[in-house]
Structure 1
Amino acid sequence: MRDELFNPDNTALLTRANPLAKLIAVVLVTFTLAASIDWVSASVALALELLLLPLAGMSLVALARRGWPLAVAIILGGWSTAIVAEDSGAILLNLGYVDITEGSLTAAVAITARSFAVALPGILLMVSTDPTDLADSLAQQAKLPHRFVLGTLAAMRLIGLMIEEWRTLGMARRARGVGSMGSPWARFKANLSQAFGLLVQSIRRASRLAVTMEARGFGGEHRTWARKATYAGMDVVVVLGGVLVAGAAMAAAMHLNTWNLVWG
Protein backbone atom coordinates (compact mmCIF):
# COMPACT_ATOMS: atom_id res chain seq x y z
CA MET A 1 0.00 0.00 0.00
CA ARG A 2 1.18 3.51 -0.81
CA ASP A 3 2.88 5.34 2.05
CA GLU A 4 0.76 8.43 2.62
CA LEU A 5 3.31 10.14 4.84
CA PHE A 6 6.43 9.89 2.70
CA ASN A 7 5.12 10.11 -0.84
CA PRO A 8 6.88 13.02 -2.57
CA ASP A 9 5.36 14.52 -5.70
CA ASN A 10 8.15 14.03 -8.25
CA THR A 11 6.87 16.97 -10.31
CA ALA A 12 7.22 19.45 -7.43
CA LEU A 13 10.22 21.79 -7.35
CA LEU A 14 11.26 21.07 -3.77
CA THR A 15 11.16 17.33 -4.40
CA ARG A 16 14.09 17.65 -6.82
CA ALA A 17 16.24 19.65 -4.37
CA ASN A 18 19.00 18.10 -2.28
CA PRO A 19 17.55 16.84 1.06
CA LEU A 20 20.48 18.26 3.04
CA ALA A 21 19.89 21.73 1.55
CA LYS A 22 16.24 21.53 2.59
CA LEU A 23 17.26 20.40 6.07
CA ILE A 24 19.65 23.35 6.40
CA ALA A 25 16.86 25.75 5.39
CA VAL A 26 14.53 24.20 7.97
CA VAL A 27 17.17 24.52 10.70
CA LEU A 28 17.74 28.20 9.85
CA VAL A 29 14.04 29.03 10.09
CA THR A 30 13.54 26.94 13.24
CA PHE A 31 16.52 28.49 15.05
CA THR A 32 15.30 32.01 14.26
CA LEU A 33 11.79 31.29 15.49
CA ALA A 34 13.11 29.59 18.62
CA ALA A 35 15.26 32.61 19.47
CA SER A 36 12.34 34.98 20.07
CA ILE A 37 8.83 34.82 21.46
CA ASP A 38 6.75 37.36 19.57
CA TRP A 39 3.76 37.14 17.27
CA VAL A 40 5.19 39.29 14.45
CA SER A 41 8.15 37.12 13.45
CA ALA A 42 6.04 33.97 13.76
CA SER A 43 3.23 35.41 11.64
CA VAL A 44 5.59 36.62 8.91
CA ALA A 45 7.39 33.28 8.78
CA LEU A 46 4.12 31.35 8.71
CA ALA A 47 2.74 33.49 5.86
CA LEU A 48 5.87 32.96 3.77
CA GLU A 49 5.88 29.22 4.49
CA LEU A 50 2.27 28.90 3.33
CA LEU A 51 3.29 30.51 0.04
CA LEU A 52 5.86 27.73 -0.41
CA LEU A 53 3.29 24.92 -0.20
CA PRO A 54 2.86 24.63 -4.01
CA LEU A 55 6.63 24.16 -4.38
CA ALA A 56 6.27 20.93 -2.40
CA GLY A 57 3.28 19.81 -4.46
CA MET A 58 0.91 20.45 -1.56
CA SER A 59 -2.27 22.46 -1.13
CA LEU A 60 -3.95 23.89 1.95
CA VAL A 61 -6.56 21.13 1.73
CA ALA A 62 -3.89 18.43 1.66
CA LEU A 63 -2.08 20.13 4.53
CA ALA A 64 -5.25 20.19 6.61
CA ARG A 65 -5.96 16.55 5.81
CA ARG A 66 -2.49 15.40 6.85
CA GLY A 67 -1.78 17.78 9.68
CA TRP A 68 -5.10 18.26 11.49
CA PRO A 69 -4.04 16.28 14.61
CA LEU A 70 -0.99 18.52 14.95
CA ALA A 71 -3.14 21.61 14.39
CA VAL A 72 -5.55 20.55 17.14
CA ALA A 73 -2.63 19.97 19.54
CA ILE A 74 -1.14 23.39 18.73
CA ILE A 75 -4.47 25.18 19.24
CA LEU A 76 -5.00 23.43 22.56
CA GLY A 77 -1.48 24.46 23.55
CA GLY A 78 -2.29 28.07 22.68
CA TRP A 79 -5.48 27.94 24.74
CA SER A 80 -3.52 26.54 27.68
CA THR A 81 -1.04 29.39 27.32
CA ALA A 82 -3.88 31.92 27.43
CA ILE A 83 -5.08 30.37 30.69
CA VAL A 84 -1.75 30.05 32.52
CA ALA A 85 0.11 33.08 31.13
CA GLU A 86 0.68 36.07 33.37
CA ASP A 87 -2.25 38.49 33.39
CA SER A 88 -1.62 42.00 32.11
CA GLY A 89 -3.73 44.69 30.51
CA ALA A 90 -7.49 44.76 30.22
CA ILE A 91 -9.61 41.71 30.99
CA LEU A 92 -11.10 40.37 27.76
CA LEU A 93 -12.89 37.28 29.06
CA ASN A 94 -13.87 36.18 32.56
CA LEU A 95 -14.35 32.42 32.88
CA GLY A 96 -14.93 32.50 36.59
CA TYR A 97 -11.89 30.49 37.56
CA VAL A 98 -9.52 32.40 35.29
CA ASP A 99 -9.33 35.68 33.36
CA ILE A 100 -8.14 36.06 29.77
CA THR A 101 -6.34 39.39 29.51
CA GLU A 102 -4.67 41.29 26.69
CA GLY A 103 -1.27 40.08 27.84
CA SER A 104 -2.21 36.42 28.14
CA LEU A 105 -4.03 36.50 24.79
CA THR A 106 -0.98 38.06 23.10
CA ALA A 107 1.22 35.32 24.56
CA ALA A 108 -1.22 32.65 23.37
CA VAL A 109 -1.30 34.07 19.83
CA ALA A 110 2.50 34.25 19.76
CA ILE A 111 2.91 30.63 20.93
CA THR A 112 0.25 29.33 18.54
CA ALA A 113 1.65 31.15 15.50
CA ARG A 114 5.19 30.14 16.43
CA SER A 115 4.22 26.49 16.82
CA PHE A 116 2.60 26.45 13.38
CA ALA A 117 5.59 28.29 11.88
CA VAL A 118 8.05 25.80 13.39
CA ALA A 119 6.03 22.72 12.41
CA LEU A 120 5.28 23.70 8.79
CA PRO A 121 8.90 23.62 7.50
CA GLY A 122 9.26 20.12 8.91
CA ILE A 123 6.08 19.06 7.12
CA LEU A 124 7.34 20.57 3.86
CA LEU A 125 10.63 18.69 4.27
CA MET A 126 8.82 15.46 5.04
CA VAL A 127 6.36 15.52 2.14
CA SER A 128 8.97 16.58 -0.43
CA THR A 129 11.78 14.21 0.56
CA ASP A 130 12.26 10.50 0.11
CA PRO A 131 13.75 9.01 3.31
CA THR A 132 16.40 7.10 1.36
CA ASP A 133 17.57 10.28 -0.39
CA LEU A 134 17.78 12.06 2.96
CA ALA A 135 19.81 9.20 4.45
CA ASP A 136 22.18 9.25 1.46
CA SER A 137 22.76 12.99 1.89
CA LEU A 138 23.29 12.74 5.65
CA ALA A 139 25.84 9.96 5.25
CA GLN A 140 27.68 11.17 2.13
CA GLN A 141 27.59 14.95 2.54
CA ALA A 142 27.01 15.61 6.25
CA LYS A 143 29.35 12.71 7.14
CA LEU A 144 27.13 11.50 9.97
CA PRO A 145 27.79 8.02 11.43
CA HIS A 146 26.31 5.23 9.33
CA ARG A 147 24.58 3.58 12.26
CA PHE A 148 22.77 6.80 13.16
CA VAL A 149 21.75 7.45 9.56
CA LEU A 150 20.49 3.94 8.95
CA GLY A 151 18.61 3.92 12.24
CA THR A 152 16.93 7.18 11.26
CA LEU A 153 16.06 5.78 7.84
CA ALA A 154 14.54 2.66 9.39
CA ALA A 155 12.49 4.75 11.81
CA MET A 156 11.15 6.97 9.01
CA ARG A 157 10.22 3.97 6.92
CA LEU A 158 8.44 2.34 9.85
CA ILE A 159 6.26 5.39 10.58
CA GLY A 160 4.05 4.76 7.58
CA LEU A 161 3.92 1.05 8.43
CA MET A 162 2.85 1.84 11.99
CA ILE A 163 0.01 4.03 10.67
CA GLU A 164 -1.22 1.17 8.52
CA GLU A 165 -0.90 -1.32 11.41
CA TRP A 166 -2.93 1.01 13.64
CA ARG A 167 -5.74 0.91 11.07
CA THR A 168 -5.49 -2.87 10.82
CA LEU A 169 -5.61 -3.28 14.60
CA GLY A 170 -8.60 -0.95 14.77
CA MET A 171 -10.53 -2.90 12.14
CA ALA A 172 -9.70 -6.22 13.81
CA ARG A 173 -10.88 -4.94 17.19
CA ARG A 174 -14.08 -3.49 15.73
CA ALA A 175 -14.79 -6.84 14.07
CA ARG A 176 -14.71 -8.36 17.57
CA GLY A 177 -16.92 -5.58 18.92
CA VAL A 178 -14.11 -3.93 20.89
CA GLY A 179 -13.62 -0.16 20.89
CA SER A 180 -16.56 0.78 18.68
CA MET A 181 -19.31 0.64 21.30
CA GLY A 182 -19.95 1.90 24.80
CA SER A 183 -19.38 5.19 26.54
CA PRO A 184 -16.63 7.65 25.51
CA TRP A 185 -14.58 6.45 28.49
CA ALA A 186 -14.93 2.82 27.36
CA ARG A 187 -13.83 3.72 23.84
CA PHE A 188 -10.90 5.70 25.26
CA LYS A 189 -9.74 2.69 27.28
CA ALA A 190 -10.10 0.48 24.21
CA ASN A 191 -7.94 2.87 22.15
CA LEU A 192 -5.40 2.97 24.98
CA SER A 193 -5.21 -0.81 24.91
CA GLN A 194 -4.81 -0.70 21.12
CA ALA A 195 -1.98 1.83 21.47
CA PHE A 196 -0.22 -0.46 23.95
CA GLY A 197 -0.53 -3.36 21.51
CA LEU A 198 0.98 -1.22 18.74
CA LEU A 199 3.83 -0.19 21.06
CA VAL A 200 4.68 -3.82 21.85
CA GLN A 201 4.54 -4.77 18.19
CA SER A 202 6.74 -1.80 17.25
CA ILE A 203 9.40 -2.76 19.81
CA ARG A 204 9.46 -6.31 18.50
CA ARG A 205 9.71 -5.10 14.90
CA ALA A 206 12.51 -2.67 15.79
CA SER A 207 14.44 -5.43 17.55
CA ARG A 208 14.15 -7.75 14.56
CA LEU A 209 15.14 -4.95 12.20
CA ALA A 210 18.20 -4.05 14.29
CA VAL A 211 19.40 -7.66 14.37
CA THR A 212 18.80 -8.04 10.62
CA MET A 213 20.69 -4.85 9.75
CA GLU A 214 23.60 -5.83 11.98
CA ALA A 215 23.75 -9.29 10.41
CA ARG A 216 23.84 -7.81 6.90
CA GLY A 217 26.76 -5.52 7.70
CA PHE A 218 24.98 -2.18 7.98
CA GLY A 219 27.10 0.36 9.79
CA GLY A 220 30.41 -1.07 8.62
CA GLU A 221 33.46 1.10 8.04
CA HIS A 222 33.47 0.86 4.24
CA ARG A 223 30.31 1.36 2.21
CA THR A 224 29.37 1.84 -1.41
CA TRP A 225 26.43 3.93 -2.59
CA ALA A 226 23.91 3.14 -5.29
CA ARG A 227 23.14 6.85 -5.72
CA LYS A 228 25.59 9.72 -5.41
CA ALA A 229 24.33 12.72 -3.42
CA THR A 230 25.31 15.98 -5.14
CA TYR A 231 24.61 19.69 -4.89
CA ALA A 232 23.12 21.79 -7.69
CA GLY A 233 22.18 25.41 -8.27
CA MET A 234 18.65 24.73 -7.02
CA ASP A 235 20.04 23.70 -3.65
CA VAL A 236 21.68 27.09 -3.19
CA VAL A 237 18.32 28.71 -3.91
CA VAL A 238 16.65 26.48 -1.31
CA VAL A 239 19.16 27.49 1.38
CA LEU A 240 18.80 31.15 0.41
CA GLY A 241 15.04 30.71 0.69
CA GLY A 242 15.50 29.59 4.29
CA VAL A 243 17.71 32.61 4.92
CA LEU A 244 15.05 34.87 3.34
CA VAL A 245 12.21 33.51 5.50
CA ALA A 246 14.28 33.72 8.69
CA GLY A 247 15.63 37.17 7.83
CA ALA A 248 12.23 38.59 6.89
CA ALA A 249 10.68 37.32 10.11
CA MET A 250 13.49 38.78 12.21
CA ALA A 251 13.53 42.10 10.34
CA ALA A 252 9.75 42.56 10.67
CA ALA A 253 9.85 41.88 14.41
CA MET A 254 12.77 44.27 14.93
CA HIS A 255 11.10 46.97 12.84
CA LEU A 256 7.95 46.78 14.96
CA ASN A 257 9.97 46.47 18.20
CA THR A 258 8.46 43.10 19.12
CA TRP A 259 11.66 41.03 18.86
CA ASN A 260 12.06 39.37 22.25
CA LEU A 261 15.00 37.02 22.76
CA VAL A 262 14.13 34.08 24.98
CA TRP A 263 17.43 34.40 26.84
CA GLY A 264 17.31 38.21 27.03
Structure 2
Amino acid sequence: MTSIARPTTALDRLNPVTRLLLLVVAAIPIIISLDWLSSAVMLVGTLTIFLVCGVPPRQLAMRMRPISIAAPLAAISMALYGKPGGEVYWHWGLVVVTERSVTMAIAVIFRILALGAAAVELLGGLDLTATADGLAQLCKLPDRFVLGALAGMRMAGMFTEDWRTLSLARRTRGLGDTGRLHRFATMAFALLVFAIRRGTTLATAMEARGFSAQSAAQRTWARESTLGRPDGIGWIVTVALDAVAVLASVHFGTFTFITS
Protein backbone atom coordinates (compact mmCIF):
# COMPACT_ATOMS: atom_id res chain seq x y z
CA MET A 1 0.00 0.00 0.00
CA THR A 2 1.38 3.42 -0.95
CA SER A 3 1.23 5.94 1.90
CA ILE A 4 0.17 9.49 1.21
CA ALA A 5 2.66 12.00 2.54
CA ARG A 6 1.35 14.83 4.68
CA PRO A 7 1.58 18.20 2.88
CA THR A 8 4.62 20.21 3.97
CA THR A 9 3.86 23.74 5.18
CA ALA A 10 5.90 26.66 6.44
CA LEU A 11 4.89 25.67 9.97
CA ASP A 12 6.96 22.49 9.60
CA ARG A 13 10.09 24.64 9.44
CA LEU A 14 9.52 25.85 13.00
CA ASN A 15 11.23 24.15 15.90
CA PRO A 16 8.66 22.11 17.89
CA VAL A 17 9.53 24.07 21.04
CA THR A 18 8.82 27.30 19.17
CA ARG A 19 5.41 25.97 18.14
CA LEU A 20 4.58 25.11 21.75
CA LEU A 21 5.63 28.54 23.01
CA LEU A 22 3.87 30.37 20.17
CA LEU A 23 0.63 28.69 21.19
CA VAL A 24 1.06 30.08 24.72
CA VAL A 25 1.82 33.58 23.42
CA ALA A 26 -1.13 33.49 21.00
CA ALA A 27 -3.45 32.67 23.89
CA ILE A 28 -2.48 35.76 25.93
CA PRO A 29 -4.97 38.26 24.36
CA ILE A 30 -7.74 35.69 24.63
CA ILE A 31 -7.01 34.94 28.28
CA ILE A 32 -6.54 38.48 29.60
CA SER A 33 -9.67 39.94 27.99
CA LEU A 34 -13.26 38.72 27.88
CA ASP A 35 -14.31 40.83 24.90
CA TRP A 36 -15.30 39.46 21.52
CA LEU A 37 -13.25 41.81 19.34
CA SER A 38 -9.77 40.73 20.44
CA SER A 39 -10.74 37.07 20.05
CA ALA A 40 -12.24 37.74 16.61
CA VAL A 41 -9.07 39.50 15.49
CA MET A 42 -6.98 36.59 16.77
CA LEU A 43 -9.22 34.07 14.98
CA VAL A 44 -9.15 35.86 11.63
CA GLY A 45 -5.43 36.57 11.92
CA THR A 46 -4.59 33.00 12.92
CA LEU A 47 -6.59 31.45 10.08
CA THR A 48 -5.06 33.89 7.59
CA ILE A 49 -1.52 33.10 8.76
CA PHE A 50 -2.12 29.36 8.52
CA LEU A 51 -3.48 29.64 4.98
CA VAL A 52 -0.55 31.84 3.94
CA CYS A 53 1.82 29.25 5.43
CA GLY A 54 0.37 26.65 3.09
CA VAL A 55 -2.01 24.77 5.38
CA PRO A 56 -4.65 23.11 3.15
CA PRO A 57 -8.10 24.61 3.80
CA ARG A 58 -9.65 21.14 3.83
CA GLN A 59 -7.21 19.96 6.51
CA LEU A 60 -7.91 23.06 8.60
CA ALA A 61 -11.66 22.58 8.25
CA MET A 62 -11.48 18.91 9.24
CA ARG A 63 -9.40 19.64 12.33
CA MET A 64 -11.68 22.50 13.34
CA ARG A 65 -14.88 20.48 13.02
CA PRO A 66 -15.09 19.25 16.66
CA ILE A 67 -14.25 22.73 17.93
CA SER A 68 -16.89 24.26 15.69
CA ILE A 69 -19.47 22.02 17.36
CA ALA A 70 -18.28 22.67 20.92
CA ALA A 71 -18.12 26.48 20.59
CA PRO A 72 -21.88 27.09 19.99
CA LEU A 73 -22.79 24.67 22.80
CA ALA A 74 -20.63 26.61 25.25
CA ALA A 75 -22.08 29.88 23.96
CA ILE A 76 -25.65 28.71 24.59
CA SER A 77 -24.82 27.94 28.22
CA MET A 78 -23.21 31.36 28.62
CA ALA A 79 -26.21 33.11 27.06
CA LEU A 80 -28.70 31.33 29.32
CA TYR A 81 -26.81 31.30 32.61
CA GLY A 82 -24.10 33.96 32.24
CA LYS A 83 -23.74 36.98 34.50
CA PRO A 84 -26.73 39.24 33.78
CA GLY A 85 -26.35 42.88 32.85
CA GLY A 86 -27.95 45.50 30.63
CA GLU A 87 -31.25 44.98 28.84
CA VAL A 88 -33.15 41.77 29.68
CA TYR A 89 -34.27 39.91 26.56
CA TRP A 90 -35.84 36.84 28.18
CA HIS A 91 -36.36 35.63 31.72
CA TRP A 92 -37.68 32.26 32.83
CA GLY A 93 -36.79 30.82 36.23
CA LEU A 94 -33.01 30.61 36.55
CA VAL A 95 -32.59 31.43 32.87
CA VAL A 96 -31.90 35.12 32.27
CA VAL A 97 -30.86 36.21 28.79
CA THR A 98 -29.48 39.74 28.92
CA GLU A 99 -27.43 42.04 26.78
CA ARG A 100 -24.28 41.17 28.75
CA SER A 101 -24.83 37.40 28.60
CA VAL A 102 -25.40 37.50 24.84
CA THR A 103 -22.26 39.57 24.34
CA MET A 104 -20.31 37.10 26.48
CA ALA A 105 -21.75 34.19 24.50
CA ILE A 106 -20.49 35.72 21.25
CA ALA A 107 -17.09 36.25 22.90
CA VAL A 108 -17.03 32.60 24.01
CA ILE A 109 -17.53 31.42 20.43
CA PHE A 110 -14.65 33.52 19.13
CA ARG A 111 -12.39 32.60 22.06
CA ILE A 112 -12.89 28.85 21.67
CA LEU A 113 -12.46 28.99 17.89
CA ALA A 114 -9.33 31.15 18.13
CA LEU A 115 -7.67 28.94 20.75
CA GLY A 116 -8.75 25.78 18.98
CA ALA A 117 -7.46 26.90 15.58
CA ALA A 118 -4.06 27.76 17.04
CA ALA A 119 -3.88 24.50 19.01
CA VAL A 120 -4.89 22.07 16.27
CA GLU A 121 -2.40 23.43 13.75
CA LEU A 122 0.55 24.27 15.99
CA LEU A 123 0.32 20.98 17.90
CA GLY A 124 -1.01 18.83 15.09
CA GLY A 125 1.61 16.72 13.37
CA LEU A 126 4.42 17.49 15.82
CA ASP A 127 7.37 15.10 15.58
CA LEU A 128 7.57 13.58 19.07
CA THR A 129 11.28 12.86 18.79
CA ALA A 130 12.09 16.38 17.60
CA THR A 131 9.92 17.79 20.36
CA ALA A 132 11.78 15.78 22.99
CA ASP A 133 15.11 16.91 21.52
CA GLY A 134 14.03 20.53 21.77
CA LEU A 135 12.66 20.26 25.30
CA ALA A 136 15.87 18.66 26.54
CA GLN A 137 18.40 20.72 24.58
CA LEU A 138 16.73 24.14 24.40
CA CYS A 139 14.47 24.20 27.45
CA LYS A 140 16.97 22.23 29.56
CA LEU A 141 14.35 19.88 30.96
CA PRO A 142 15.71 16.74 32.68
CA ASP A 143 16.86 14.26 30.05
CA ARG A 144 15.57 11.26 31.98
CA PHE A 145 12.06 12.72 32.25
CA VAL A 146 11.91 13.83 28.61
CA LEU A 147 13.14 10.52 27.20
CA GLY A 148 10.85 8.52 29.48
CA ALA A 149 7.86 10.62 28.43
CA LEU A 150 8.82 10.18 24.75
CA ALA A 151 9.00 6.41 25.15
CA GLY A 152 5.66 6.36 26.94
CA MET A 153 3.97 8.49 24.26
CA ARG A 154 5.25 6.22 21.52
CA MET A 155 3.93 3.14 23.30
CA ALA A 156 0.54 4.70 24.07
CA GLY A 157 -0.54 4.00 20.51
CA MET A 158 -0.27 0.27 21.21
CA PHE A 159 -3.20 0.37 23.62
CA THR A 160 -5.74 0.45 20.80
CA GLU A 161 -4.21 -2.61 19.14
CA ASP A 162 -3.97 -4.41 22.51
CA TRP A 163 -7.65 -3.70 23.19
CA ARG A 164 -8.61 -5.02 19.76
CA THR A 165 -6.55 -8.17 20.28
CA LEU A 166 -8.13 -8.79 23.69
CA SER A 167 -11.60 -8.29 22.25
CA LEU A 168 -10.98 -10.76 19.43
CA ALA A 169 -9.48 -13.31 21.82
CA ARG A 170 -12.49 -13.12 24.15
CA ARG A 171 -14.89 -13.35 21.24
CA THR A 172 -13.06 -16.46 19.99
CA ARG A 173 -13.59 -18.06 23.42
CA GLY A 174 -17.28 -17.11 23.35
CA LEU A 175 -16.96 -14.46 26.07
CA GLY A 176 -17.50 -11.30 24.05
CA ASP A 177 -21.26 -11.20 23.41
CA THR A 178 -22.75 -10.80 26.90
CA GLY A 179 -22.05 -8.89 30.10
CA ARG A 180 -20.67 -5.69 28.61
CA LEU A 181 -19.85 -4.08 31.96
CA HIS A 182 -18.05 -7.19 33.22
CA ARG A 183 -16.25 -7.56 29.88
CA PHE A 184 -15.05 -3.95 30.02
CA ALA A 185 -13.76 -4.34 33.58
CA THR A 186 -11.84 -7.55 32.84
CA MET A 187 -10.38 -6.20 29.61
CA ALA A 188 -9.35 -2.95 31.32
CA PHE A 189 -7.57 -4.95 34.04
CA ALA A 190 -5.82 -7.10 31.42
CA LEU A 191 -4.76 -3.96 29.54
CA LEU A 192 -3.36 -2.53 32.78
CA VAL A 193 -1.32 -5.70 33.31
CA PHE A 194 0.00 -5.47 29.74
CA ALA A 195 0.96 -1.82 30.28
CA ILE A 196 2.84 -2.58 33.51
CA ARG A 197 4.73 -5.47 31.95
CA ARG A 198 5.61 -3.46 28.87
CA GLY A 199 6.68 -0.49 30.98
CA THR A 200 8.95 -2.69 33.10
CA THR A 201 10.53 -4.17 29.98
CA LEU A 202 10.99 -0.73 28.46
CA ALA A 203 12.60 0.62 31.64
CA THR A 204 15.05 -2.28 31.72
CA ALA A 205 15.89 -1.82 28.04
CA MET A 206 16.48 1.92 28.52
CA GLU A 207 18.74 1.30 31.50
CA ALA A 208 20.74 -1.21 29.44
CA ARG A 209 21.17 1.37 26.66
CA GLY A 210 22.62 4.01 28.97
CA PHE A 211 19.54 6.08 29.79
CA SER A 212 20.22 5.92 33.52
CA ALA A 213 20.85 9.01 35.64
CA GLN A 214 24.50 8.04 36.14
CA SER A 215 25.27 8.46 32.44
CA ALA A 216 23.21 11.65 31.97
CA ALA A 217 26.26 13.93 32.18
CA GLN A 218 27.93 12.14 29.25
CA ARG A 219 24.82 11.90 27.08
CA THR A 220 25.00 13.10 23.48
CA TRP A 221 22.18 13.71 21.00
CA ALA A 222 21.84 12.19 17.57
CA ARG A 223 20.02 15.25 16.26
CA GLU A 224 20.82 18.78 17.37
CA SER A 225 17.79 20.98 18.07
CA THR A 226 18.41 24.54 16.89
CA LEU A 227 16.50 27.76 16.33
CA GLY A 228 16.60 29.50 12.95
CA ARG A 229 15.16 32.33 10.92
CA PRO A 230 11.68 30.78 10.60
CA ASP A 231 11.43 30.70 14.40
CA GLY A 232 12.27 34.39 14.61
CA ILE A 233 9.67 35.23 11.96
CA GLY A 234 7.11 33.18 13.86
CA TRP A 235 7.78 35.13 17.05
CA ILE A 236 7.51 38.49 15.27
CA VAL A 237 4.24 37.59 13.54
CA THR A 238 2.66 36.18 16.71
CA VAL A 239 3.61 39.11 18.92
CA ALA A 240 2.42 41.56 16.24
CA LEU A 241 -0.93 39.78 15.99
CA ASP A 242 -1.29 39.86 19.78
CA ALA A 243 -0.60 43.60 19.80
CA VAL A 244 -3.10 44.28 17.01
CA ALA A 245 -5.82 42.28 18.81
CA VAL A 246 -5.33 44.07 22.14
CA LEU A 247 -4.98 47.55 20.62
CA ALA A 248 -8.09 47.04 18.48
CA SER A 249 -10.21 46.08 21.49
CA VAL A 250 -8.85 49.00 23.53
CA HIS A 251 -9.41 51.46 20.67
CA PHE A 252 -13.03 50.43 20.14
CA GLY A 253 -13.74 50.24 23.86
CA THR A 254 -14.55 46.53 24.06
CA PHE A 255 -11.54 45.46 26.14
CA THR A 256 -12.73 43.77 29.33
CA PHE A 257 -10.06 42.55 31.72
CA ILE A 258 -10.50 38.99 32.95
CA THR A 259 -11.28 40.12 36.53
CA SER A 260 -14.03 42.55 35.45
Q: TM-score range by the shorter chain?
A: 0.7 to 0.9
Indicate conservation of the 8 Å contact 2:34/2:255, yes or no: yes
Q: With structure 2 as the length reference, what TM-score do the two structures score?
A: 0.76
1:109 CA displacement: 1.7
- Which residue identity is paired with 2:70? A
Alignment correspondent of 2:13: 16
Q: Give the superposition deviation at 1:167.
A: 8.8
1:10-39 Cα offsets, whole Å, 9 max, x none, are x31110122222223222112232111111
Structure 1 equivalent of residue 238 of structure 2: 242
Q: Aligned residues: percent identity?
A: 33
Picking from 127, 131, 145, the partner of 1:134 is 131
Q: Is contact 1:14-1:128 (8 Å) kept?
A: no
- Determine the structure 2 residue equivalent to 1:65: 62
Which deviates more, 239-248 or 125-134? 125-134
**Distance between the aligned counterparts of 1:160 and 1:119, measured in 2?**
23
Hey, what's the Cα distance between the residues in 2 that align with 1:169 and 1:89?
A: 59
Alignment of 1:79-228 (within 5 A): 79-93=76-90, 98-158=95-155, 160-161=157-158, 164-165=160-161, 168=164, 200=192, 204=196, 209-210=202-203, 212-218=205-211, 220-228=216-224
**Kindly tell me: are residues 232 and 8 of structure 1, through their superposed partners in 2, closer, same or farther at Cα, counting changes over 3 Å?**
farther
User: Are positions 1:74 and 2:71 aligned together?
Assistant: yes
| SS of 2:70 mapped into structure 1 | helix
- Which of 1 and 2 has higher RCO (CA within 8 Å, sep 6+)? 1
For 1:53 and 1:250, locate their aligned partners in 2 and report how far apart those are by CA, in whole Å.
20
Q: Secondary structure at the match of 2:27?
A: helix
Q: State the Cα distance separating 1:214 from its structure 2 match.
A: 4.5
Q: 1:216 to 1:129 in 2, by over 3 A?
A: same
- State the TM-score, normalizing by the size of structure 1: 0.75
> In structure 1, the residue corresponding to 2:210 is in which secondary structure?
coil
Seen in structure 2, the aligned counterparts of structure 1 residues 200 and 157 have a Cα distance that, compared at 3 Å, is same
Partner of 1:260: 256
Structure-2 residue corresponding to 1:231 = 227
Find the aligned partners of 1:102 and 1:27 in 2 and give their Cα distance. Answer: 31
Q: How far does residue 114 in structure 1 lie from its aligned partner after superposition?
A: 1.1
Contact 1:8–1:127 at 8 Å: present in 2 too?
A: no
Asked if 2 retains the 8 angstrom alpha-carbon contact of 1:169 and 1:194, the reply is no
Alignment-mate amino acid for residue 132 of structure 1 = T
Q: Partner letter of residue 27 of structure 2?
A: T
2:15 aligned partner, one-letter code: N
Asked which structure has the greater CA Rg, the reply is 2
Q: Deviations over 1:89-137 (max 9, x none)?
A: 3344566762322211211221221122122222222225312111111
User: 1:22, 1:239 within 8 Å by CA — same for their partners in 2?
Assistant: no
Runs of at least 5 residues in structure 1 that lack an aligned partner in the other structure: 180-185
1:32, 1:250 within 8 Å by CA — same for their partners in 2? yes
Contact 2:60 2:121 in 1 (8 A): no
Instruction: For 1:169 and 1:134, locate their aligned partners in 2 and report how far apart those are by CA, in whole Å.
Output: 31
Paired residues of 1:15 and 1:56 also in contact (CA < 8 A) = no
Change (3 A) 1:144 1:91: same
What value does the CA root-mean-square deviation take over the aligned residues?
3.9
Where structure 2 has 5 or more consecutive residues not aligned to the other structure, the ranges are none
Over residues 45-85 of structure 1, what are the superposed CA-to-partner deviations in whole Å (9 max), with x where a residue is unaligned?
01111112335653343234334334433332222222221
1:156 shift after superposition = 4.3
CA contact (8 A) 1:21 1:236 kept: no
Does residue 53 (structure 1) correspond to residue 50 (structure 2)? The answer is yes
